[in-house]
Amino acid sequence: MRKIILILILILNLINAACAEQSARLLFIGDIMAHDQQLKAAKNKNGYDFTPQFRRVAPLFKDEFLIGNLETVFAGNKNKLKYSGYPLFNTPDVLIENLKSSLGIDCLTLANNHIFDKGEAGARRTAEVLENSGVSWTGLALDFKDDLGKIIKSIRLNDAILLTTQGLKFALVNLTYGSNLNLKQEDVKLNIISHENIKQAIDNAKNLEPDIIIACFHWGNEYHFKPSAHQKDAADYALKYGADLIIGTHPHVLQPVEIRDADTQSPKAIAWSLGNFVSFQRTLPRERSVILAVEFIKDDLSNKARITRVSAAPLYVIAPGNFKTEVTYAGFDAATISKLDFKNISKNNLTKLKAVGRAVLEFLGAANLNQADEFGFYTLWDASEPDNLPSLNSKRKSPQ
């Protein structure tokens, strides 16, 4: 009898092990910009320091895996080059170190309309700075060579990168509608959105054998709150060929979050635009955005991963004066607020934070504005209630 019980216990343990699940959580932020005013505010006697611009939200990123869009270049300040903001961005290299130390940035997308602001040389140097920093990146095709001119690393057009965190593997591709400067692209080439390129990029992603495929697109019309026909076409095509999650940037304002195939074992999510994470664009509503959190579960029995929850933490970029910008949490969760620094924020801005947070969450269709999770994020969609879609809960036509 005792042997039978031991055998049954062993069988149950094996079944439980086979049914075990792995979970992972990724965070996404929108455009990381550095306008002239931000450069002035960051300047100090030792050089530059951008950490004050996002120090108020730094605790929200602790121990998280973070992906963002770098909408500037690291072209350096030699050979007559100067640091500059819009329309031709060029930012001190220390920004990447500040992003790492304050936010723990893990990956940056480079396929955007500003990557050639300082020519192909500026784009190449940006990739080199990121390579040396240890931050993953994608969106460009180029060769890295040693001092003798021998190719030591080659990045192909429409290539994918593999990101591994919390036991899950994510393949990420990044394409843009184009560039502000029409260059020959002889040394550095840019991943451009087209049906052919999307398919090639996702095929490259599949070759990495990931659990989840993420497509990051720089697309759409600036300052528009709804996705364009071009965005919809690219998204449909990406999902058709195997993307699980689509993250959009470029419009500089928030656009809706959409869930497709919500009632299946393979739900898909599209964040049409995450807006500006940090910038000095002050025109409403360019100064508000979100940190988007996407959660995944992989069932070891089926060996398949799926999206299980999408949530958001609302943000507002305060401009307290002297060209300063401060990315600030705009949620209402008391526990989260107690962990963050709100010192020396004016009464007017504190009032504005609440209004901005409500407008952002109502626009995105948060399920419950009175309930945030342990991280201060508000649910937009949860697989436990698949039919409770953000599009149905949205109460505003814009986030302002």
Q: What does the pLDDT profile of the chain (400 residues) look like in tens digits?
A: 555 554 544 544 444 444 468 999 999 999 999 999 999 999 999 999 999 999 999 999 999 999 999 999 999 999 889 999 999 999 999 999 999 999 999 999 999 999 999 999 999 999 999 999 999 999 999 999 888 889 999 999 999 999 999 999 999 999 999 999 888 888 999 999 999 999 999 999 999 999 999 999 999 999 999 999 999 999 999 999 999 999 999 999 999 999 999 999 999 999 999 999 999 999 989 999 999 999 999 998 888 999 999 999 999 999 988 899 999 999 999 999 999 999 999 999 999 999 999 999 999 999 999 999 999 999 999 999 999 999 999 999 999 8
In-domain check, residue 4: no
240-249 in b/e form (b: 16+ CB < 10 A) is ebebbbbbbb
Distance (Å, rounded) from C-alpha 87 to C-alpha 118?
A: 11
CA distance to 193, 205, 256, per residue, from 213 (Å):
17, 7, 20
In-domain check, residue 17: no
Distance (Å, rounded) from C-alpha 71 to C-alpha 81?
A: 18
Give me the DSSP letters along 211-263: SEEEEEEE-S-TT-SS--HHHHHHHHHHHHHT-SEEEEESSSSB--EEEESTT
Q: Please give the single-letter amino acid code of residue 151.
A: I
User: Torsion angle, CA of 298/304/309/311, rounded to 10 degrees?
Assistant: 90
In-domain check, residue 9: no
In-domain check, residue 303: yes
- Residue 8's CB: how many other CB atoms inside 10 A? 10
Q: How many domains does the chain have?
A: 1
Expressed as residue numbers, the domain containing 58 is 25-393
In-domain check, residue 246: yes
Distance (Å, rounded) from C-alpha 56 to C-alpha 368?
A: 24
- Residue 397's CB: how many other CB atoms inside 10 A? 9
- CB of 172 within 8 A of CB of 107? yes
Residue 338 CB-density burial (10 A; 0-12 exposed, 13-18 middle, 19+ buried): exposed
Residues 6+ apart with CB under 8 A from 303: none
In-domain check, residue 12: no
317-332 in b/e form (b: 16+ CB < 10 A) is bbeeeebbbbbbbbbb
In-domain check, residue 55: yes
- CB of 172 within 8 A of CB of 205? yes
CATH number of the structural domain spanning residue 137: 3.60.21.10
In-domain check, residue 351: yes
